[in-house]
A and B are shown apart, each in its own frame.
Chain A
């Protein structure tokens, strides 16, 4: 019995994508009407690495990305495990309705794809996929991505330029379509692990109210992004 198990484990390992270098074309599409994405990080890595996992607290590196759009910590983390990265393919923000495409050559052993990017304007909302197994068969594979809450900052929905980890507030509303004078929606974040984002509340008063966000512009429903991977 033990022998059979080992044999099938070897068979699995041989058929696994982890042993092949691959050429990938990765397209990321912003499906929202009013949310911008900060510099996107796409990475092919091995199974020792996980950028995020629902129900697990965010790493400090993920927090940096989710609260301020800073991917440098995650890039360092991934370079430490010899991942293949496409960092910031859109060369800046990805506006609503826009797409960006990156080519990624993966090394042997880097059989898993992760993509992460922060949603603006949010406190610590991000979209992404963690550890998607890259198919070995050539073809085009499309999947939709949901919005997550990093669980590291209260969703107060106040735009005050705060993007550093631990600083409460939203860095910016790139569409220049948000308000001011919000008193803050909440100071609590009850679920401190990564979880599906409950969405922003917003309000209809651009100079007062609880939120600086516009409830007709800055809300969303999942899915918020689409990833199309072409395996060459």
Chain B
């Protein structure tokens, strides 16, 4: 689990400036024994905002790639009807969440501990110091697909108090960056072991709701998938809790 604290440095700048002034006056004081020791004011304790995100896989046979959870004040993970970012394309085609976590808008990000098998859950904790985050986004790939993902896009955290929790069920989206051929060569999950990310965009190139997998059993002869890999919405149960 990686946690980064990009935004704290901006605020820290102010605090170290205050610290520097105090240090100077303390030095001045030590030169002259007749002046009483100055009282060093304690800087306010840093405030930590921590959110726990629990993700449960509701599908029958779609393992989920390690979940990416990000806190941000602007932007969004994606926009329906618009092109996917390359970062999201990576996650949706290969399950690799590293680029999503490294996006400029990310104030703090965390990855799940591993693949979430059907029926299983993972809880990811993400923290930010001194800045209250405005939004939370999370994404994971349904790995026995070409480019399906599910998650939360820019959920507002503004009115969330400590101890409060929000539970929701999410649908699956199609990143629109890879045609849903369902062939062995193009699906990276255990059902196929094929290619993950490919820079080529041979599909509609906009994000939509996913139409589900067809599977070989349901009439797509080239499909490596079976009836077991079909899914319906919702695909994830997510609960977000502000723990501090």
Which residues in A have some Cβ–Cβ distance to B below 8 Å? 29-34, 96-99, 201-204, 215-216, 219-224, 226
Interface residues of B in 141-178 (CB under 8 A from A): 171-172, 174, 176
- Report chain A residues within 8 Å CB of B206: 96-97
- Report chain A residues within 8 Å CB of B220: 204, 215-216
SS class, residues of chain B in contact with chain A: loop
- Report chain A residues within 8 Å CB of B207: 97
Q: CB distance B80 to A29 under 8 Å?
A: yes
Between A and B, how many residue pairs show CB distances below 8 Å? 70
Which residues in B have some Cβ–Cβ distance to A below 8 Å? 80-82, 171-172, 174, 176, 179-182, 204, 206-212, 214, 218-222, 232-233
Pairs across A and B, CB under 8 Å, 30 listed: A29-B81, A31-B80, A31-B208, A31-B209, A33-B204, A33-B209, A33-B211, A96-B204, A97-B80, A97-B204, A99-B81, A202-B214, A204-B219, A204-B222, A215-B219, A215-B220, A216-B180, A216-B181, A216-B182, A216-B214, A219-B211, A220-B209, A221-B211, A221-B212, A221-B232, A221-B233, A222-B233, A223-B209, A223-B233, A226-B80
**Partner among A29, A201, A220 whose Cβ is within 8 Å of the Cβ of B211:** A220
Q: Who on chain B is nearest to A209 by CB? A: B219
- Report chain B residues within 8 Å CB of A98: 81
B133 to chain A, nearest CB (A): 21
Q: CB distance A32 to B180 under 8 Å?
A: no
CA–CA, A203 and B220, complex, Å: 7
Contact flag A97-B208 (CB < 8 Å), given A29-B81, A203-B219, A226-B80: yes
